[in-house]
Amino acid sequence: TLSQQAASGEMGRTTIIAIEFDGGVVLGSDSRVSAGASVVNRVMNKLSPLHEKIYCALSGSAADAQTIAEIVNYQLDVHSIEIGEDPQVRSAATLVRNISYKYKEEMSAHLIVAGWDRRNGGQVYATLKGLLTHQPFAVGGSGSSYVYGFVDAEYHRGMSREESQQFVINTLSLAMNRDGSSGGVAYIVTIDEHGTEEQVILGNQLPTFFDQ
């Protein structure tokens, strides 16, 4: 169910990120939801489960993004029962892409889909208005424009689980410091073949950089 505050909020003014590592993925987001110049929710978790080992990071209209996530979550549950096994990450991303494209005139949402499956391991997909791209990492939301240089410079293939988690935390910290529409706490989800690990990092526990 959607909370009244979240439903009226805007998550385009946010920071979301996902990255692949050898054996899994890490997703992260800030927690601030805005309505105009007002902050209507300081601690909303924008990392939504689509299945046991598949999550999405939400941006855009809070109500639209959450609605898409709930629809895909239901459809994947039905799909997994029909095929008798866990769904593939690409299947989840394709469902998100299809719904986003079908209702592109009515809905405003951008979801990054990431997870792990037996066939292809850890995967990250960006979905936007009918576009579906498999990427080693993806960033989104208003805060992303402040950190593209950082992620391009700091990312390298073959990063470990711990390096990827720190990469996500550092990116969120920088974005939340620069972008007035991003803030609150940092939510982190790490997924691999063994399961899902969720973390919440308070604002005063985030790493600091030169101008902070």
**Is the separation of the CB atoms in 89 and 76 below 8 Å?**
no
Could you please report the per-residue DSSP string of 55-96? EEEEEEBHHHHHHHHHHHHHHHHHHHHHHTSPPPHHHHHHHH
**Cross-sheet strand order for the sheet of 186-192:** 137-140, 16-21, 24-29, 186-192, 195-201
Q: Is 208 a catalytic residue?
A: no
The label of the residue with tokens 């470990």 reads: 160
Looking at 14, 15, 171, 190, which residue is catalytic? 14
Cα separation, 7 vs 160, whole angstroms: 37
Residue 199 region by backbone torsions, left for phi larger than 0, else alpha for psi between -120 and 50, else beta? beta
Helices (H), the chain: 4-7, 62-83, 89-102, 148-154, 161-178
Cα separation, 90 vs 88, whole angstroms: 5
Which residues are identified as catalytic?
14
